[in-house]
Amino acid sequence: MKKNILISTGGSGGHVVPAEILADHLEKKFKVFISSDLRGIKYLNKKKDDCIVFNTPKLTLDFLIILKIFKVSYLIIKSYFFLKKNKIGKVFSTGGYMSLPVCLSAYLLKIDIYLLEPNVVLGRANKFFLKFCKKVFSQTANLKNYPKKYKDKIQIIPPLVRKEFYEKKKLDNENKKFCFLVVGGSQGAEIFEEIVQNAMINLSKNYEIQIIQQTKANNILKLQNTYEKENIKNFIFDFELNFPNLIHQCDFCITRGGASTLAELSIMSKPFLAVPLLSSKDDHQFENANFYKNLNCCWLMNQKDFNTENLELLLSNILENRPEYNAKKENLKKLNFQNSWNNINQKLLTTINEN
């Protein structure tokens, strides 16, 4: 009989996507439940109907603080009885304040707690539960803001990406026209639109290029028409379920610093330019991108420096200086040489079964 596991997640795609991938890894050996707040549900794919909603409020000091404390207290009681009723044996958290009631309930019930840190900066919620957890799954032993006394709890695993990425990784792709992919992550990237558009138009006068670009739904037709007037082959989208295929088609990506997107680009050996979101908590997007930059796998640009002139100059240099581009591509291949779905699956299961 399968043992029961609950994965607590929510908030942004950066928390939810790894949670769903973790569920895919564990579902053959365990009966997996997923809990999320209402914000996180929209990022769930096939497990949306099976999700348990614990809509945890953020405990900010405002005039609603008493009401929020009451609601969190209620959710702790609710999750306590859910864990007990469903005989949950282990709880995973991908971080975020939305996991607070579930993890507190698990601690009270003496249920094993495991933390998954998708970023290279330890999240505040995960830091709070370090003392009570069995292990912290991370892509690096050098997590920022991580207390040294808990170093023995880190279990290094490659970043979690969907199985489709490993399947696409095996396929060859060679474009006649250099293909740029532009994505903004779950929080969007409106700043990319005009700057990228202008840079691409200027580049197209000297280079054979094509573009795949994410934008808002109401801007798709306008952006398509702009590129088509300049004879630039394009595919414009707002949300694409078959994202592995888009990455497979591209040669280079312009993106934010979200852990999931960078991991997906990395596993498929696609060099990228990261423009981290300035408002990301604890500057985690910068640290995520800087992790790859220090391995000579990508380019990194501060949002304050992100303009048409600087972008065009950087991309022109990439198109002209292929040895630098190829070196980063090879470094990505080396970084992921031993990474496979089965290897990660085995490491997860071995760690869980040992504790």
| 145 contacts: CB under 8 Å, gap ≥ 6 | 121, 122, 127, 282
CA–CA separation, 13 and 26 (whole Å)? 20
pLDDT in tens, 176-235: 899 999 997 544 557 788 899 999 999 999 999 999 999 888 889 999 999 999 999 999
What mean pLDDT comes out for the span 4-20? 91
Q: How many CA atoms lie within 13 A of 297 on its CB side?
A: 21
- Contact indicator for 260, 17 with CB cutoff of 8 Å: yes
**Residue 63 confidence (pLDDT) above 70:** yes
- The string of pLDDT tens digits covering residues 317-347 is 999 989 999 999 999 999 998 889 999 999 9
Containing structural domain, residue 75: 3-158+339-354
Pair 118, 180 in one domain: no
179 shares a domain with 76: no
Predicted confidence (pLDDT) per residue in 288-311, tens digit: 999 999 999 999 999 999 999 999
Q: Which of 105, 108, 117, 110 is nearest to 89 (CA)?
A: 110
Q: Are residues 29 and 120 in the same domain?
A: yes
Same domain for 344 and 285?
A: no
**Tokens encoding 176:** 């006649």
Same domain (yes/no): 12, 154:
yes
pLDDT value at residue 1 = 65
Give yes or no: residues 65 and 184 share one domain: no
pLDDT digits (tens, 9 = 90+) for 132-153: 999 999 999 999 999 999 999 9
Are 130 and 230 in a shared domain?
A: no
Q: 174 and 222 share a domain?
A: yes
If asked whether residues 195 and 235 sit together in one domain, one would say yes
- Asked if 172 and 320 sit in the same domain, the reply is yes
How many domains does the chain contain in total?
A: 2
Residues 305 and 349 in one domain: no
Q: Express as a percent the part of the chain with pLDDT over 90.
A: 74
CATH classification at residue 125: 3.40.50.2000
- Specify whether 169 is located in the same domain as 289: yes
> How far apart (Å, rounded) are the C-alpha atoms in residues 27 and 320?
47
User: What is the pLDDT at residue 117?
Assistant: 95
pTM above 0.75, yes or no: yes
